Amino acid sequence: MATVLIVDDSRTSRKILGDVLRNMGLEVVGEAVNGEEGFLKYKELKPDLVTMDITMPVMSGLESLLLIKHENANAKVIMITAAGQKENLMQAVKAGAEEFLTKPLEEAEVRRVVTEVLAK
């Protein structure tokens, strides 16, 4: 069973993602509410996949992505973004993000992207 770490400062987004991922048969091994906590939990839990919100307090998803990729260049990270954050998306691509999901999150799209990334 593949393991997933959810990093998002929005409780609602964590709940939506967690429900979809668990319904897919994945194991949500941890949740974090900012980029710093996300990085620390990544190192501790070594999940197969990370979902990473971009806009968060303390440390952004982009900074956290860079730290995770520095720790493990093969880490699989899906960035979660609000609409209209094109600049952030381009930076995340350069930093090695696998894929993107846009809020509001739709179950079918989450399933499609997560399945695709885990199959790589």
CB of 60 to Mg ion, least distance (A): 9
CA–CA separation, 60 vs 102, rounded Å? 16
CA–CA separation, 48 vs 42, rounded Å? 10
CB of 54 to Mg ion, least distance (A): 7
Strand-pairing partners, residue 82, are 103
Q: Name the phi and psi angles at 54, rounded to 5.
A: -90, -50
**Any contact of residue 85 with Mg ion (CB under 5 A)?**
no
Site for Mg ion in 4-43 (CB under 5 A): 9
Pick from 55, 85, 91, 102 the residue near Mg ion by CB under 5 A. Answer: 55
Choose between 28 and 118: whose C-beta lies nearer to Mg ion.
Answer: 28
Residues lying near Mg ion in the complex (CB under 5 A) are found at 9, 53, 55-56
